Structure 1
Amino acid sequence: MLQGNCMFFTEETSTLRMKGVTVILLTAVLALGRCEHHEHTLENVALKGKAVQSSTYGSAYARRAIDGNRDGDYYHGSCSHTEGETNPWWRVDLLGVHRVSSVIISNRGDGFSERLNDAEIHIGNSLENNGNDNPTCAVISTIPPWEPVSFNCSGMVGRYINVLLRGYTQFLTLCEVEVYASPAEDIGIASTLGPSITQKGNVALRKKTRQSSSKSRGRASKAVDGKRSTRFQMGSCTQTRTEADPWWRVDLEKAYNVTSVTITSREDCCAEMIDGAQLRIGDSLENKGNNNPICTVISSFPAWETLTFQCHGMMGRYVNIFLPGCDKYLTLCEVEVHAEPDPVSLPEVTTDGPPLVTEPDSSEEFEEILSIAFDFMQSIQQLFGTIYPDSTQATEYLKENVLLAFAEEDEVTQDRQCTASRTVQENLATGGQTTQSTRWDDFGDATNAIDRNRQGVYLKGSCSHTKGETNPWWRVDLLKSYNITSVAVSNREDCCSERINGAEIHVGDSLENNGNDNPVCAVIPYIPSGQTRTYQCNGMVGRYVSILLPGKSKYLTLCEVEVNGNAIGNE
């Protein structure tokens, strides 16, 4: 229907569109002019929200779509833009639950306006699948160049507004997203989902935490302070020192059936540092809890992001985030653990390792040191006047600085461990035998993908390349079976980086269908131009590692494939 100068898609027109009915007058009606919102009493709450997206093309950040500027010329700097990838998405967090009346989307006008066709608008309170599983308000049939179009959401309730574009090698560009809504306090949930995380079910909130080391003010407890603040300098994020295998842990005090864990990443830097981290849940403190069962491995984590990982009722008292590798540091801005309403009925938590009460705690371990140091401060006060008139202030100062001194000592030890750990695993693909479905030319031999050179310019001779074909594939024979922990893939940088989107990594012992029927370790959504991404395989057993790109007229180019693992029977 037409309201004011605005094409307004109702639920009925959306249904007609989805059934394939063509609205012939669409373009003519939209040509009447720009869309002015018809509900002047409602506020565009997106302006105060926080935007994220699945990837960022150049500097076209997600927040540009909520800057209050409908300008449709991408080069004027007011449009968001993802990389070409599988199922790109954009999301705004309204920082509270709202009743959404309508969503207005402004399309690009300088070209490629058809890229927004068939995008979906989702509204809800869940971050499962990055919020893209929330209920659908509308499916965008088309938005002509330069035009804002309004979609009626009929009071749908939610905190998160997503725009999802399904398909391989898709680019999602939004020049403005406006959300007209009213607060939803009347349904009793808006206050529980605000920036401070106090909602029922977060059993980690203000519980006892530990981590492998602490840098500056990045103490472990800051990840359970109920704040999703994403800037380290704001004082609500943890950070370990650079070390081997950093970790963080929360003690839930009782065993729970953990349904999901929500993690908030930093935005000011270093979001990629969490890539490859393992989320572990269990009752054991063996190896500081880092040997407990794995809920998931975090393959990639965009900056500013809050992601929820489903753990499907795994039972445990301890939730660990463990980042394997050398010269790593772990930083977390919030960890929320959602569980069944009541803890598991166990008379006492049984642990494979020593009970937590016997493990030295930072505050207890330095109690005597703090006492002596505080006595010393009092003596200084008597001599030189009032330095710390408040004993609490003095104690906190001493605690932070004494712990920092010990953390710096621990860092030396960790560095030695890091040096030793460099030789624990090797790239098993080196020395393997490679083959691929076809070869583009003499530059694109299959062996180029295991030459220990990540160089991404094809004509320099370090990348494999198939011909354009249906379901191209590449395979390395490791010559015997291994427990495969991870596979790293380096993408081409001189062009065509989107061609790898949707490729599948298979691991197994079978050569049926050229090894492409072996179990899937991971599906590659996208790899930015010239970059390397690591995919966790969690000990899958296999002799053959294959990369298969499903589809017609596909080219598979790999500039390096690195396979990490252990001999079967080894840790």
Structure 2
Amino acid sequence: MSALSYPTELIICPSVEVEVYGEAITPECKPEPNAINLATQGIAEQSSHYARKGEPNLAIDGKRNGTYNEGSCSHTEIDYPAWWRVNLKATYSISTVVIYNRQDCCDHRLMGAEIRVGDSPDVSTHIKCGTIEGTYPGSIHTICCHGLKGQFVSVVIPDQSQYLTLCEVEVYGEAVIPECKPALNAINIAKQGTADQSSYYSYLGSPSHAIDGNRNGIFGKGSCTHTQKDTPSWWRVNLKATYAVSAVVVYNREDCCDNILMGAEIRVGDLRDVSKQVK
């Protein structure tokens, strides 16, 4: 039976329990329920500062208050062009940008503003994903960026001298993960495991030191493992469950002997015998 994609009313006889399963249908260009506003983790800048109350970070403070004097809107001088941008600190595939206009006055100033995305701080190099074409006091503008990728999202008023005031900017999308780089906020599952190794050099080189969360590369500081000269030398961690392993990050020692790790193989398997694990 095909999935129903329109509101449906279920009429059934009295029952002890009814369970309904499916996936939400998200209207085009509307942030999904519980989507994370990426802008709040960023750093905002703008072409100029009108006053202390109009600092650029006020447009990403999580407050949608549209009254400028209540201190939650950004504000530039009359610039040509006036611009505001947020550095998201990583590259994202941007799906939606939501702009909240001021509601006390001057809503028309946002007319013609362009929402842009790019990987450079230079807003003139950003790619336009939408334009604000109509305003009213307190207007909310949802702009579809259709997966444009960039670290910066900007709002620019082109081809005229104008103030730029933004009472909130929300940015939604997904992190662009470079090949074999752990996802943002990924959990290091090694820390929940149990470590072993082929032999013990000394108590300072305990196998558990490689999963203690301490990346200190000085052996004498007690956060590195160390075996004897074994054939082969090996270290392993038991994750206590089966995982689809996407990335393994290994930190070498920094005080000496970094060449010892040359040629080391990273292997994964369901058997304790490291010789039977897959490289």
**TM-score (normalised: structure 1):** 0.28
Shift of the alpha carbon at 1:244?
A: 6.1
Report the equivalent of 2:96: 486
1:436 pairs with 2:143: no
In the alignment, is residue 473 of structure 1 matched against residue 83 of structure 2?
yes
Q: How far apart are the structure 2 equivalents of 1:556 and 1:524?
A: 13
Q: What amino acid is the match of 1:485? A: S
Q: Is the 8 A contact 2:92 2:174 kept in 1?
A: yes
Whole-angstrom distance in 2 between the partners of 1:562 and 1:214 = 29
The AA in structure 1 aligned to 2:38 is: L
C-alpha distance in 2 between matches for 1:503 and 1:436? 14
Q: Is the 8 A contact 1:244 1:324 kept in 2?
A: no
Shift of 1:553: 2.7
**Residue of structure 2 in register with 1:526 after alignment:** 134
Give the equivalent residue in structure 2 for 1:325. Answer: 32
Q: CA deviation at 1:498?
A: 0.9
* 1:526 Cα deviation from its structure 2 partner: 2.2
Q: Shift of the alpha carbon at 1:216?
A: 5.7
SS of the residue 2:125 aligns to: coil
Name the structure 2 match of 1:385: none
2:3 matches 1:214:
no
CA contact 1:485–1:565 (8 Å) conserved in 2: yes
Question: Could you give the per-residue CA deviations for residues 90-122 of structure 1, whole angstroms, max 9, x where no partner exists?
Answer: xxxxxxxxxxxxxxxxxxxxxxxxxxxxxxxxx
User: What's the CA shift for 1:518?
Assistant: 1.0
Residue of structure 1 equivalent to 2:174: 566
By percentage of residues, which structure has more strand?
A: 1
What displacement does 1:510 show? 1.8
Cα 1:430–1:517 shift into 2, 3 Å:
same
Structure 2 matches for 1:5-84, cutoff 5 A? none
Q: Which residue of 1 aligns with 2:71?
A: 461
Q: Which residue of 2 aligns with 1:106?
A: none
Q: Deviations over 1:366-399 (max 9, x none)?
A: xxxxxxxxxxxxxxxxxxxxxxxxxxxxxxxxxx
Gaps of 5+ in 2: 11-21, 178-182, 184-279
Residue 556 of structure 1: CA displacement?
A: 0.5
What SS does the corresponding residue of 2:39 show, helix, strand or coil?
coil
Letter matched to residue 53 of structure 2: F
Shift of residue 515 of structure 1?
2.0
Partners of 1:466 and 1:557 within 8 A in 2: yes
Query: One-letter code of the match for 2:109?
Result: R
CA deviations on 1:108-148 (whole Å, 9 max, x unpaired) are xxxxxxxxxxxxxxxxxxxxxxxxxxxxxxxxxxxxxxxxx
CA distance in 2: counterparts of 1:553 and 1:244, whole angstroms: 46
Unaligned runs of 5+ in 1: 1-208, 218-242, 248-276, 279-296, 298-322, 327-421
- Which of residues 542, 546, 549 is equivalent to 2:154? 546
Over residues 318-365 of structure 1, what are the superposed CA-to-partner deviations in whole Å (9 max), with x where a residue is unaligned?
A: xxxxx7633xxxxxxxxxxxxxxxxxxxxxxxxxxxxxxxxxxxxxxx
Q: Contact 1:432–1:476 at 8 Å: present in 2 too?
A: yes
User: Which secondary structure state, in structure 2, belongs to the residue aligned with residue 564 of structure 1?
Assistant: strand
1:246 aligns with 2:58: no
* Greater relative contact order (CA < 8 Å, ≥ 6 in sequence): 2
Q: Secondary structure at the match of 1:480?
A: strand
The alignment's TM-score, normalised by the length of structure 2, stands at: 0.55
* Equivalent residue in structure 1 for 2:145, among 537, 549, 566: 537
Aligned CA distance change for structure 1 residues 495 and 516 (closer, same or farther; 3 Å): same
Map residues 283-362 of structure 1 onto 2, 5 A cutoff.
Answer: 325-326=32-33
Q: Deviations over 1:450-478 (max 9, x none)?
A: 00000000000000001112210001001
Once the two structures are TM-superposed, the CA of residue 215 in structure 1 deviates from its matched residue by 4.2
Between the aligned partners of 1:491 and 1:501, the Cα distance in structure 2 is 10
Q: CA separation of 1:324/1:441 partners in 2, compared to 1, >3 Å: closer, same or farther?
A: closer
Matches within 5 A, 1:12-411: 211-215=4-8, 245-246=24-25, 277-278=27-28, 325-326=32-33
Distance 1:245 1:215 in 2: 13
Paired residues in the alignment total: 166
CA distance in 2, matches of 1:525, 1:550: 13
Q: Is the 8 A contact 1:244 1:325 kept in 2?
A: no
Secondary structure at the counterpart of residue 147 of structure 2:
strand
CA-to-aligned-CA distance 1:140-182 (integer Å, 9 cap, x gap): xxxxxxxxxxxxxxxxxxxxxxxxxxxxxxxxxxxxxxxxxxx
Task: Check whether the contact 1:211–1:246 (CA below 8 A) recurs between aligned residues.
Answer: no
The percent of aligned pairs where both chains have the same amino acid is 40
Q: 1:210: how far off?
A: 6.9
CA RMSD of superposed structures (Å)? 2.4
> Which piece of structure 1 moves more, 550-559 or 538-547?
550-559
Identify, as 1 or 2, the structure richer in helix. Answer: 1
1:446 is the counterpart of 2:56 = yes
Residue 564 of structure 1 aligns with an amino acid whose one-letter code is Y
